[in-house]
Amino acid sequence: MSKDGFRIKITHEKKGRKALRNRVSSGEYLAFLSVKYEVNPDEFFYALISAEENQKSKCENLSIECRGKTRDKVIFLILKGSKVVAQFPVLRGFLLEQSNPIKNFMETDLPRRYLIKKNRGSHSLLIRDLRTGMSHVNLRAKVLEIPRPRLVVTRFGNCASVAHALIADETGTIKLCLWNEQINSVSHGDTIQIEDARTSTFRGERQLSLGKTGTLSNIEDSGYQLKEVHSPREE
């Protein structure tokens, strides 16, 4: 990347951070930084106070510098190593709170949305959350039914066995499309882990398929206990 291109990138990043801060309060933004950089909110708050008094402080993997003061604000620069994380003003009244005010903002929109985005694709979803067109779906479920496989001719002209197993968690059921050796890899009653699947609609019903990259494994021996689920026929 050229020097001009690098400057443009840095400028855009700074503008993005500034726009973000302008939309949220200092407390929410500090809570977001605490979550993003995995620092304890109590230690973070007291590191800000220490930086105001001593010009500099450390909080786990972050360095905090006091860059200026006005009558009612303190301007902080926060770095991770040599990388600038943020520079913004905090009201003196915020720093004078008796209890850590950052904690009051940990469940606000910005840190919560960051955690959802961070965890998306790495944690198991629930069946009720699945929508047609989703990809990279991770899911834990129980196998309720595996119908007799049927022989089909694929679009490539090959013969293959396919079965649409019914799987469930505590929030609902969905069909799982199994091909060939996948069919015999699980049994009725198994608890399974599905990774990197995708959702689609077949004959008006939602279904999961593994495609070329998806995986399926039995986790019965992992100690994981799924909440009790029932087949619709048992209800």
What is the rounded CA–CA span in Å between residue 25 and residue 5? 32
Q: Is the pLDDT of residue 142 over 50?
A: yes
CA distance 175 to 132: 13
| pLDDT tens profile 55-112 | 999 999 999 999 999 999 999 999 999 999 999 999 999 999 988 999 889 888 888 8
pLDDT for residue 9: 39
Beta bridge partners of 218: 192
DSSP secondary structure letter of residue 29 = H
Name the pLDDT band for 234 (thresholds 50, 70, 90): very low
Identify which has the larger pLDDT, 162 or 17: 162
Backbone angles phi, psi at 134, to 5 degrees: -70, 150
Q: Which domains, ranges and CATH numbers included, belong to the chain?
A: 3-119 (no CATH), 127-234 (2.40.50.140)
Residue 131: exposure state from Cβ atoms within 10 A (0-12, 13-18, ≥19): exposed
pLDDT of residue 119: 54
Instruction: Determine the Cα–Cα distance for residues 175 and 180; give it in Å rounded to an integer.
Output: 16
| Residue 73: per-residue pLDDT | 94
CA distances from 175 to 44, 98, 124 (A): 47, 54, 17
- Condensed to tens digits (0 to 9), the pLDDT of residues 189-207 reads 999 989 889 898 888 888 9
The two tokens of residue 84 are: 């600038």
In the predicted structure, residue 1 carries a pLDDT above the cut 60: no
Beta bridge partners of 193: 140, 217
Count CB-CB contacts under 10 A for residue 216. Answer: 17
Is 219's pLDDT higher than 50?
yes
Q: What is the pLDDT of residue 86?
A: 92
* pLDDT at site 229: 53
Rounded CA separation 14/148 (Å): 59
pLDDT for 141 equals 92
6-59 pLDDT, tens per residue? 343 344 444 444 444 456 788 999 999 998 998 999 999 999 999 999 999 999
DSSP string, 112-179: HHHHHHHHTTTS-B-GGG--TT--SEEEEEEEEE-PPPEEEE-TTS-EEEEEEEEEEETTEEEEEEEE
Return d(Cα 5, Cα 84) in angstroms, integer.
18
150/95 Cα distance (integer angstroms) = 68
What mean pLDDT do residues 210-233 have? 65
Higher pLDDT, 212 or 222: 212
pLDDT of residue 20: 45
Query: What is the pLDDT at residue 57?
Result: 96
Three-state secondary structure call for residue 54: helix
